[in-house]
Amino acid sequence: MKARRIRDTRKNEKGQSLVEFALVAPLLLLLVIGIAEFGRAWMTNNILTGAAREAVRIYAVKDNIGEANARAAQILSSAGLDGARATFTDNVFGAAVSYTVGYRFPVAFAGFIPGLGGTEILLSSTTTMRKEY
């Protein structure tokens, strides 16, 4: 008699795993998309930091803004970040120089992430070095 009751209860649970998957799948998909977008943004920020570091190093050693801007533009265009903006800032005392690179990062899956207002996020990186001339 007990064996019959066990079989009867198992028959009532036939679609349970499908319903559970349907409830969890959107959350899992949102998590995976969020991880991918964060990885893209992190990579873009690392490229911006590298471009700022290269440019400020050239300017700190050679005092050549044109060459520094050209090097930063070369790094950014090789990564496909053609819309990036770069600016130099000299220290008041003339002992240091700063280079800032900014980029409006387009969020590819903005419609899927609730609460994300715009489709672009402003990323920027600033590097400062002491002048060596």
CA–CA separation, 59 vs 8, rounded Å? Answer: 79
For the whole model, what pTM was predicted?
0.77
The confidence score (pLDDT) of residue 9 equals: 59
State both tokens at 63.
């005092």
Mean pLDDT, rounded, of the chain = 84
Please check the confidence at residue 77 and state whether its pLDDT lies above 80. yes
pLDDT over threshold 70, residue 79: yes
Q: Quick one: tokens of 7?
A: 């079989």
What is the domain partition of the chain in residue ranges?
A: 15-130
- pLDDT for residue 110: 67
